Structure 1
Amino acid sequence: MSEYDLILGQTFQVTANPMTTPWQQAVTVASDGAVLLRDGRIEQVGHASDLRQQHPQARITDYGDKLVCPGFVDAHVHYPQTAIIASWGKQLIDWLNTYTFPEETRLCDPAYARAIADRYLDLALAHGTTTVCSYATSHPASVDAFFDAAERRGLRVIAGKTCMDRNAPEALCDTVQHAHDESKSLLEKWHGRGRAHYAITPRFSPTSTPEQLEALGALWAQHPSCLMQTHLSEQVPEIKWVRELFPTARDYLDTYEMHGLIGERAVFGHAIHLEPREIDRIAETGAALVHCPTSNTFIGSGLMDVAGLAARSVPVGLATDTGGGSSFSMLRTMAAAYEVAQLRGTALHPAQLLYLATAGSARALHLHDTIGTLSPGYEADLTILDLASTPAISQRAAEAETIWEAIFPTIMMGDDRAIADVWIAGKRRITDQSV
């Protein structure tokens, strides 16, 4: 007979998209909440007194007034860039040439790839992130290393071989045929294995010839249950470069569209400087966009119009963009998203920020029926937030008149110290021994 775990605390639940529905109607926090787990899934969500009475034999973990959330979902990362995070002073193209490409070359060594994959996932978990969508390098061993590390931790993840055949060091470039064949081999090995999903992954148009993009589009057409992830309109000089490389394309998005790389399961990172046609086409196809606010400010890319895109019913996720992003923390990323939105004239509510980091990112990654929400039948990935993790946060939360005023200081000032505990597929990682 299966055993039950009963998690007690304040529970954060999403019933609709607070970016398109008034947040008061879309999101609730129960002060006396409880989540019942069995066999790695959420069995029930309700009031503590009710579930205690219904399941007196359940193992109880009482988090008091801590906030029980779905595990954070980081929708765009580069795990191979873990070691170069917070490198000084470059914009996108210089960043790639100075820091990224030399570091990614090192992952040709399977042992080094394994070490970085382990390091990255442990850092992510320490910050409450339970699912990530990552780029690997062009080396198949880097893909195997990441999926293997995630499998050992029981994590639901998405990743893919990063494909390039021009404008990058020779050690990172492959051919059209290699990109297709190695991606095919890797997706056949990993896609749907346990909690793993594969994403066909051209880095971005400047580092792929039209022939390589065409081959990857054909591969995606043959395996439509995979995601396709890439970058779009991150910086103005990048867009100018794309125009020079693809003179017949209508815009940046068209460099993907003309090669079959757009659709409902497409995920485009950044998407800051979009043309009206691009927005229309993204909305029409159901493709998702991912907001990377710490990266966009750190390397001077610009301010994504999250509220405007969400109003067009475009699925928007949230991401750290390790290592162009300057933090492994989704809390810090939520804070940056708030600041970016303020600069664009919109004050995102704490409910909206938590949504973007959980159910919103899960929706962008087509995992919205599996993770990202505290609902019966969903996988039991949970992050427990201490809303008084530091003296500065505690003194502000003590003055709060509503639960949202109590949560907001943790979003704006929290870090890994706010992560009281993490549960992966119903198994506790025990990060707070006081509970």
Structure 2
Amino acid sequence: MTRHAYRAALLHALEDPCRAPAEAAWAYHEDGLLVVEDGHVAAFGAYTDVFPALPPDTPVTPFPGKLITPGFVDAHIHYPQTDVVAAWGSQLLDWLNTHTFPAEQAFADRAHADEAAAFFLDELLRNGTTSALVFGTVHKTSVDALFEAALARDMRLIAGKVLMDRHAPAGLCDTVETGRADTEALIRAWRGRGRLGYAVTPRFAVTSSDAQLAMAGQVAAAHPDVLIHTHMSENLEEIARVGELFPDARDYLDVYARHGLVGPRSVFAHCVHSTDDALRRMQRAGAASAFCPSSNLLLGSGLFSLKQACDCGVTVGLGTDIGAGASFSLLHMMGEAYKVGQLGGEVLDPLHAFYLATLAGARALKIDDQVGNLAPGKEADFLVLDLAATPLLARRTGAARTIAEQLFVLSILGDDRAIERTYLAGRLAHSRDRTPPSRALYP
């Protein structure tokens, strides 16, 4: 057995703040101890409570002034779009044609996919993201490359090959038959290996025929441990186009529902313009939404109402939506979510934003029994956050009176520099190469 303990301030979410009182939603210890055994959390609590029960030969790494949290969970991201981050353009449909589709065609080449996958995963870890739900491209090789790289890093990653058989460049279109064959082959090859999972991934209703959407629903039904991952109600022009293509559907959600794609394993990115009725139908089905504030702002898609989704009972995780999203950092996304709320007349509590980036994302991805917080028994994916990573951050967090104030400052001023260390299953996966302080700094 390998055992190691880490001393710092500790924070994790316990419940959805939309549905639980504040005292039940969080656990925070200003001086805490996290104990990891064989890659799993063995104890999480106040130092004075946990340390006396620790076997005397247990190594303790102290991080004075630092904050340990669960690793972040990105509920929606496109790894092939890494090279179009910060691309100038118009709104969604034009942006796809101008930037996304040309970039994705390169992923037919395995060497390109390998290089991009390695960079993408290292960038996630550098920004404190330890789990993610990821789009590949239409090419099977793009997903093989991503899964191989994630397996080598022991990341908890869920991904899928894009299904797209119309209204896209010829080099990015598959067919109902090839889409099924590639998807089933990828599920057989990768699902359940290490900490990997699969998601059936139609891009969105515009680029899949009825026959392909029906096939996607059939494959998902045949594999009850895979997710369904797609886009919905992101942009008004997109919604109008879906209405033209599916005139008999009640709404955008119904397009997916009639093909068996709405259920407890479904994650719909964006949902910016969803009605109360659609959100309540999602809630009854157990489907989740990924809130992607940065890309919604950059593409001018609109303002997602977190309050509306909460009032309708929908589980909402936080996504970067790289490459329309402007950053890999879920700290940054917490700040962007706050700004979206301000524009929409909603005030987002910093602790709620933190929940979206951790436990809520794990719940949306149906991996909250394994990650999302640092409850004993869960996989030890965690971060060491440096509250003084920059002079301004140090000045502002040093003046903060509560953990909520510190989190808010981190969400506005923080970025990858605030991620001092990232651990995967108790193993150091990223470090800024700073030597931890001596244990003697603690009394």
TM-score where L is the length of structure 2: 0.96
Match of residue 339 from structure 2: 339
Deviations 1:203-233 (A, max 9, x none): 0000000000011111111112100000000
Alignment of 1:244-263 (within 5 A): 244-263=244-263
Preserved contact between residue 335 and residue 408 of structure 2 (Cα < 8 Å): no
Question: For the residues of structure 1 that align with 2:17 and 2:26, how far apart are their CA atoms?
Answer: 7
Q: Does 1:38 align with 2:33?
A: no
Preserved contact between residue 133 and residue 159 of structure 1 (Cα < 8 Å): yes
Preserved contact between residue 125 and residue 422 of structure 1 (Cα < 8 Å): yes
Question: For the residues of structure 2 that align with 1:361 and 1:241, how far apart are their CA atoms?
Answer: 29
Alignment of 1:358-373 (within 5 A): 358-373=358-373
Amino acid at match of 2:144: D
Unaligned segments of structure 1, at least 5 residues: none
Structure 1, 338-347 or 162-171: larger mean CA deviation: 338-347
* CA-CA distance at 1:432 after TM superposition: 4.2
Alignment of 1:18-417 (within 5 A): 18-55=17-54, 56-417=56-417
Question: For the residues of structure 1 that align with 2:434 and 2:394, how far apart are their CA atoms?
Answer: 20
Structure 1, 401-410 or 83-92: larger mean CA deviation: 401-410
Structure 1, 240-249 or 11-20: larger mean CA deviation: 11-20
Unaligned segments of structure 2, at least 5 residues: 437-443
Amino acid at match of 1:150: A
RMSD (Å) for aligned C-alpha atoms: 1.1
Deviations 1:185-206 (A, max 9, x none): 1111111111000000000000
Could you say what secondary structure the match of 2:18 adopts? Answer: coil
Amino acid at match of 1:6: A
Structure 1, 347-356 or 200-209: larger mean CA deviation: 347-356
Preserved contact between residue 292 and residue 319 of structure 2 (Cα < 8 Å): yes
Q: Does 1:431 align with 2:427?
A: no
* CA-CA distance at 1:65 after TM superposition: 2.1
Could you say what secondary structure the match of 1:294 adopts? Answer: helix
Question: For the residues of structure 1 that align with 2:349 and 2:9, how far apart are their CA atoms?
Answer: 18
Question: For the residues of structure 2 that align with 1:165 and 1:51, how far apart are their CA atoms?
Answer: 56
Deviations 1:60-106 (A, max 9, x none): 11111211000000010000001111101221011110110011000
Deviations 1:338-391 (A, max 9, x none): 111122222111111111000010000001111011100000000111112111
Structure 1, 209-218 or 54-63: larger mean CA deviation: 54-63
Preserved contact between residue 351 and residue 407 of structure 2 (Cα < 8 Å): no
Cα 1:179–1:303 shift into 2, 3 Å: same
Cα 1:381–1:124 shift into 2, 3 Å: same
Amino acid at match of 1:195: R
Preserved contact between residue 242 and residue 252 of structure 2 (Cα < 8 Å): yes
Question: For the residues of structure 2 that align with 1:28 and 1:404, how far apart are their CA atoms?
Answer: 12
Preserved contact between residue 276 and residue 312 of structure 2 (Cα < 8 Å): no
Question: For the residues of structure 2 that align with 1:23 and 1:113, how far apart are their CA atoms?
Answer: 44
Question: For the residues of structure 2 that align with 1:374 and 1:47, how far apart are their CA atoms?
Answer: 13
Match of residue 17 from structure 1: 16
Preserved contact between residue 20 and residue 311 of structure 1 (Cα < 8 Å): no
Structure 1, 112-121 or 399-408: larger mean CA deviation: 399-408
Preserved contact between residue 23 and residue 351 of structure 1 (Cα < 8 Å): no
Amino acid at match of 1:302: G
Amino acid at match of 1:41: H
Amino acid at match of 1:419: I
Question: For the residues of structure 2 that align with 1:106 and 1:404, how far apart are their CA atoms?
Answer: 43
Amino acid at match of 2:24: Q
Question: For the residues of structure 1 that align with 2:433 and 2:120, how far apart are their CA atoms?
Answer: 21
* CA-CA distance at 1:16 after TM superposition: 1.5
Deviations 1:392-422 (A, max 9, x none): 1111122222222223211111001100111
Amino acid at match of 2:432: T
Question: For the residues of structure 1 that align with 2:281 and 2:401, how far apart are their CA atoms?
Answer: 43
Q: Does 1:4 align with 2:8?
A: no
* CA-CA distance at 1:431 after TM superposition: 2.9
Amino acid at match of 1:38: E
Structure 1 stretches of 4+ with a deviation exceeding 4 A read: none
* CA-CA distance at 1:326 after TM superposition: 0.7
Preserved contact between residue 82 and residue 322 of structure 2 (Cα < 8 Å): yes
Match of residue 440 from structure 2: none
Preserved contact between residue 387 and residue 407 of structure 1 (Cα < 8 Å): no
Preserved contact between residue 162 and residue 203 of structure 1 (Cα < 8 Å): yes
Could you say what secondary structure the match of 1:5 adopts? Answer: strand
Question: For the residues of structure 1 that align with 2:65 and 2:8, how far apart are their CA atoms?
Answer: 5
TM-score where L is the length of structure 1: 0.98
Cα 1:350–1:24 shift into 2, 3 Å: farther
Amino acid at match of 2:434: Q
Question: For the residues of structure 2 that align with 1:211 and 1:256, how far apart are their CA atoms?
Answer: 12
* CA-CA distance at 1:28 after TM superposition: 2.6
Amino acid at match of 1:52: F
Preserved contact between residue 10 and residue 66 of structure 1 (Cα < 8 Å): yes
Could you say what secondary structure the match of 2:353 adopts? Answer: helix
* CA-CA distance at 1:177 after TM superposition: 0.6
Cα 1:23–1:50 shift into 2, 3 Å: closer
Deviations 1:130-170 (A, max 9, x none): 11110000111000000011011110000000000000000
Q: Give the count of matched residue pairs.
A: 434
Could you say what secondary structure the match of 1:345 adopts? Answer: coil
Name the % identity.
44
Preserved contact between residue 290 and residue 317 of structure 1 (Cα < 8 Å): yes
Preserved contact between residue 7 and residue 62 of structure 2 (Cα < 8 Å): yes
